[in-house]
């Protein structure tokens, strides 16, 4: 089941990033048991990196709500759906996007969840309400999640990771003062732009983000645990080490599924 993706296949996620008016370049392959995963984990644990690595290993689409918001913010207003316009307006005001608006945005792209040949959801669901809505949608189509991977890391290490991040003001490349420093100090190795620390990567802002995550996600973790879907994975070490740990846990799920 764990087959490397054919490098000639490009998953452009057009329908996910742009909405229902766009079509992805890859047609469903109609595999017998495609992987349908949700990734959980506090800011800084490396969910995005793991999602990209898992995409190649599991031949699944990386469906990130963060990518949707970033793509939409660069499009003209006339190309944005009402749900997306509403979501971006909340974000511009620095407010949390309500569950109803997030769900409207995801529902516009439900074909990516219901019809694609496997997916890795990153950034959704984030609340118990969103998880219940996703469950109802999939049950209606007689589909189910394979697993929910919860990446765990002590708070002190999360703060160290995030507070050490530096972002290029031009190309947005990300470095770390100790783990991945730029060779030019405060200068980007890729484009020569100035590196800076984002406001939400400052220790005081990180504490607020982690508190908000804990309050919204604790019930979500219990929800998936009660359904027998939760797979805790320690997020220490290099991305490859964390990937190996994740694949080991998924292999256990695979064996159990085949035995049923």
Instruction: Give the residue-averaged pLDDT of 166-183.
Output: 88
> Which is catalytic among the residues 13, 36, 109, 126?
126
Give the tens place of pLDDT for each residue, 56-95. Answer: 899 899 999 888 888 887 776 667 888 889 998 998 887 8
Residue 229 lies in a domain: yes
Residue 219 belongs to a domain: yes
Question: Within 13 Å of residue 136, how many CA atoms lie on the same side as its CB?
Answer: 8
Most confident among 70-84, 94-108, 139-153 (mean pLDDT): 139-153
pLDDT of residue 189: 93
Which band of pLDDT confidence, cut at 50, 70 and 90, is reported for residue 253? confident
Q: Give the Cα-Cα-Cα angle 229, 37, 65 (nearest 5 degrees).
A: 125
Which region among 18-32, 67-81, 130-144 has the lowest average model confidence (pLDDT)? 18-32
Residue 10 has pLDDT above 70, yes or no: no
The 10s digit of each residue's pLDDT in 206-249 is 888 898 888 888 899 999 999 999 999 999 998 999 999 999 99
Active site residue 29: no
Does residue 178 sit within a domain? no
| 78 is a domain residue | yes
Give the active site residue among 36, 165, 166, 245: 165
**162 is a domain residue:** yes
Q: Is 75 a catalytic residue?
A: no
Range of the domain at 70: 14-167+213-259
More confident residue, 93 or 40: 40
pLDDT score recorded for residue 9: 43
Q: Catalytic: 47?
A: yes
Q: Is there a domain that residue 204 lies in?
A: no
Catalytic residue among 198, 202, 215, 255: 198
Which 3 state secondary structure label does DSSP give 180? strand
Distance CA 165, CA 41 (A): 18
Number of domains in the chain: 1
Average predicted confidence (pLDDT) for the chain: 86
Q: What is the CATH number of the domain that holds 235?
A: 3.40.50.300
Cβ neighbourhood burial of 45 (10 Å; 0-12, 13-18, 19+): buried
User: What pLDDT does 259 receive?
Assistant: 52
Is residue 172 one of the residues assigned to a domain? no
Q: Are 119 and 31 in contact (CB under 8 A)?
A: no
Single out the catalytic residue among 75, 209, 236, 249.
209
Do the bridges between strand 61-64 and strand 230-234 make them parallel or antiparallel, or are there none, so unpaired?
Answer: unpaired
What pTM value is reported for the model?
0.83
- Single out the catalytic residue among 36, 47, 109, 245: 47
Residue 147's DSSP bridge partners are 37
Residue at 186 is within a domain: no
């Amino acid at each position: 089941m764990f087959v490397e993706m054919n490098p000639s296949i490009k998953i452009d996620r057009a329908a996910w990033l742009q909405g229902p008016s766009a079509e992805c370049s890859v047609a469903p392959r109609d595999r017998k048991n495609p992987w349908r995963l949700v990734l959980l984990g506090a800011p800084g644990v490396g969910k995005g990196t793991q999602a990209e690595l898992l995409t190649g290993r599991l031949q699944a689409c990386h469906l990130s709500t963060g990518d949707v918001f970033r793509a939409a913010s660069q499009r003209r207003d006339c190309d944005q759906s009402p749900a997306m316009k509403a979501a971006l307006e909340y974000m511009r005001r620095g407010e949390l996007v309500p569950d109803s608006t997030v769900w409207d945005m995801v529902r516009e792209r439900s074909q990516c969840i219901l019809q694609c040949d496997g997916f890795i959801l990153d950034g959704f669901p984030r609340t118990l309400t969103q998880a219940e809505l996703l469950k109802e949608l999939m049950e209606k189509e007689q589909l189910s999640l394979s697993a929910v991977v919860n990446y765990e890391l002590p708070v002190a290490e999360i703060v160290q990771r995030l507070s050490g991040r530096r972002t290029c003001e031009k190309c947005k490349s990300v470095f770390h003062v100790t783990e991945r420093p730029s060779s030019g100090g405060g200068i980007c190795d890729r484009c020569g732009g100035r590196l800076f620390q984002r406001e939400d990567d400052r220790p005081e802002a990180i504490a607020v983000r982690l508190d908000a995550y804990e309050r919204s996600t604790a019930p979500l973790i219990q929800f998936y645990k009660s359904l027998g879907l939760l797979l805790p994975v320690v997020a220490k070490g290099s991305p490859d080490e964390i990937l190996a740990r994740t694949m080991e846990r998924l292999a256990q799920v695979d064996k159990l599924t085949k035995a049923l």
